[in-house]
Structure 1
Amino acid sequence: MDAVVLIVVAGLFAVVSGVNDGGALLATGLKLPTVRPATGILALVVMVALVPLGTHQVALTFATRLAGFRAPGGEIAMTLAVISALAVVSALSAKGRPTSLTLAVVGGLTGAALGWGLPVSPGSVALVLAFGVAAPIVGGLLAWALVRVLVAVTTARGLARWHRAGFLLQTFAYAANDGQKMLAVFMIALGFQDAPPAYTSLVAVLFGLGTLYGLPKAGRTLSRELIVSRPAHGVAAELAAGVAVIACAVASMPVSMTQSVAGGLIGAGMAQGGGRVRWYATAKIGAAWLLTLPASALLSWALAALVRGLTLL
């Protein structure tokens, strides 16, 4: 019964990941018609389905390195972790503060494991958080340099080609890293440690449905609210975020694609003057990021401790 509930929660989580992440991945190129939304969503779905067949180390980090969810009660704790992450992200989004679902998941997993009495690896959690902080900073620095090069040497036609390359790099990076949090939940629910094509395909389809629903809102937040954006900014952010996130995937470290893209947009905006960055919106999103992990950890810890206490009565 616990596994059935977790499978249902895993499916819902994949849909919400599409709502939260999919639109953000398409947002940077909205001012360039090179990659149309329908084509972009299809590319995302294909990448999310196929890339984990070749590498799913980040999913294993979520499932096995942060805490011992294979122990008795692990399925219940994982369910409570995902529910807590979804609750925190939904609450912040409802208040106009979009945040990182990956941060929420890391907090939820850690808190739920502690609340249920499962073994937690402080070193792995600290390492994941360190990479999570570094990724948007690296993305911002790379975009700061890239946008200068693009503006100086690229024509409008050339920029369109770079946009195609950047979008493909970004979608590959998401499927190799951030997107694998969806597969990790199914790993715990069903007890596998590889990447069966049936489940990667299921995750991809559910993710695509969520992206269809979430594109308008998520796209507007990143493409319009963070900076006064021009096409070159979006292309630089795609390329920079893709490189940063793939580098983290090589180290098996999960990081947030949306945070990396946001860092890239801010870096690209600052390259042509800090006045392009809407600092109020940036501060609002940054505050949401800082709140997400502790809120998810606290909520999941409380839920896990409560449910475990009730099962022992």
Structure 2
Amino acid sequence: MDSILILTILVVVFALAFDFINGFHDTANAIATSVSTRALTPRRAVLLAAAMNFVGALTFTGVAKTITKDIVDPFALQNGSLIILAALLSAIAWNLITWYFGIPSSSSHAIIGSIAGASISAAGFAILNYDGFIKILEALLISPFLALTIGFIVMSIFKVVFKNNNLYRSNKGFRYFQVVTAALQAFTHGTNDAQKAMGIITMALIAANLHTTDDIPLWVRIAAATAMGLGTSIGGYKIIKTVGGKIMKIRPVNGVAADLSSAMIIFGATAIHLPVSTTHVISSAIMGVGSAQRVRGVKWGVARKIVITWIITLPISAILAALIYQLLALFS
């Protein structure tokens, strides 16, 4: 069998593995608040998130097209399949490391940094599509600040609107509503995060001359959505514990405010075809909500560790992907 075809098959397998891992790594982001407030049991929350992630993944393709063509030009990529395979191995390794330690790291940062690092290692800095790459970086950097701000605003509005309500009744009502917001959160997660694996597979197909446009084939969409849904069904309980309880003490009203805020940001990014880190957005929304509730109520030490992980993910994954590419190139 032709070596390029073998590499392309490996890319598809590892891209689906990345999507599967992304599912259980990032499941916590979508359902952490609803589990921590006991609006949903962990099992029901995970099943709900799996179903809504699957639906969301099948609904849109704009982010996948951005991944396909805006980091590097797949039509000009030499050794494209090897580059993409190195990027996937790097992103998967980083996702598993951070999952093992219960750190809500960004799968988006990991894969985007890995694609850039492997491409630079293969062809130098000139290979990057700087206009598209900078646009993606801007979305990744700006979205957490927007989520923090909107989380603060939404929670401030809730405090004014419900200040005279009975606390028990309000929390009971918000706990029921959290089922809806958790489903919405998981749906928006699928519309953005699952798109990344679709874009990577399409990049590999183009690099191997098996596909001629940046349109996402139907089988790729179904395969990536299925992998994301199955991964989500496994769950990520270590990260649920961090996101759902270690940043701040979350009540149902806080969970609803955080879910609505982050869902708005993620879906807004999907609508303009930009990838964002769902981890960054959801964690930032929780911080914003906590700040509106009580600044001292946010455990800023934990938040600082999360932010540090956000900062180091992209450069570490880029360096790791560059090294993996050089190792693969030796053997290929």
Structure 1 unaligned residues grouped into runs of 5+: none
Aligned equivalent of 1:184: 199
The total of aligned residue pairs comes to 311
Aligned equivalent of 2:93: 87
CA distance in 2, matches of 1:142, 1:116: 41
- Amino acid of the structure 2 residue aligned with 1:121: N
The RMSD of aligned alpha carbons is: 2.3
1:31-110 to 2 correspondences below 5 Å: 31-70=36-75, 71-110=77-116
Aligned equivalent of 1:25: 30
After superposition, the Cα gap between the structure-2 partners of 1:215 and 1:283, relative to the gap in structure 1 and judged at 3 Å, is: same
Aligned equivalent of 2:306: 285
Aligned match for 2:157, one of 138, 149, 164: 149
CA distance in 2, matches of 1:199, 1:43: 23
CA distance in 2, matches of 1:245, 1:148: 21
SS in 2 for 1:30: helix
Deviation at 1:306, TM superposition (A): 4.3
CA distance in 2, matches of 1:114, 1:146: 42
The answer to whether 1:136 aligns with 2:151 is no
CA distance in 2, matches of 1:218, 1:194: 34
Structure 2 unaligned residues grouped into runs of 5+: 1-5, 163-169
Which range is displaced more, 189-198 or 4-13?
189-198
Instruction: Decide whether the 8 Å contact of 1:17 with 1:210 is kept in 2.
Output: yes
Aligned match for 2:251, one of 230, 236, 244: 230
Instruction: Decide whether the 8 Å contact of 1:226 with 1:279 is kept in 2.
Output: yes
Deviation at 1:267, TM superposition (A): 0.5
Which range is displaced more, 288-297 or 230-239?
230-239
Deviation at 1:231, TM superposition (A): 1.8
CA distance in 2, matches of 1:163, 1:85: 32
Aligned equivalent of 2:167: none
Aligned match for 2:14, one of 9, 24, 27: 9
Deviation at 1:52, TM superposition (A): 4.5
After superposition, the Cα gap between the structure-2 partners of 1:78 and 1:95, relative to the gap in structure 1 and judged at 3 Å, is: same
Aligned equivalent of 1:159: 174
- Amino acid of the structure 2 residue aligned with 1:8: V
Which range is displaced more, 78-87 or 302-311?
302-311
CA distance in 2, matches of 1:49, 1:226: 28
TM-score, normalised via structure 2 length: 0.85
CA distance in 1, matches of 2:179, 2:133: 35
Aligned equivalent of 1:303: 324
Deviation at 1:21, TM superposition (A): 0.6
Deviation at 1:10, TM superposition (A): 1.4
**Residue by residue, what CA displacement relative to the aligned partner does 1:161-213 show, whole Å, maximum 9, x if unpaired?**
54234223322321221221122233234445444454433323322332333
Deviation at 1:106, TM superposition (A): 0.9
After superposition, the Cα gap between the structure-2 partners of 1:94 and 1:106, relative to the gap in structure 1 and judged at 3 Å, is: same
SS in 1 for 2:34: coil
CA distance in 1, matches of 2:85, 2:220: 18
CA distance in 2, matches of 1:33, 1:97: 22
Instruction: Decide whether the 8 Å contact of 1:177 with 1:254 is kept in 2.
Output: yes
- Amino acid of the structure 2 residue aligned with 1:210: G
Percent of residue pairs bearing the same amino acid type: 24
CA distance in 2, matches of 1:248, 1:48: 16
CA distance in 1, matches of 2:233, 2:59: 26
SS in 2 for 1:129: helix
CA distance in 2, matches of 1:204, 1:307: 29
- Amino acid of the structure 2 residue aligned with 1:106: I
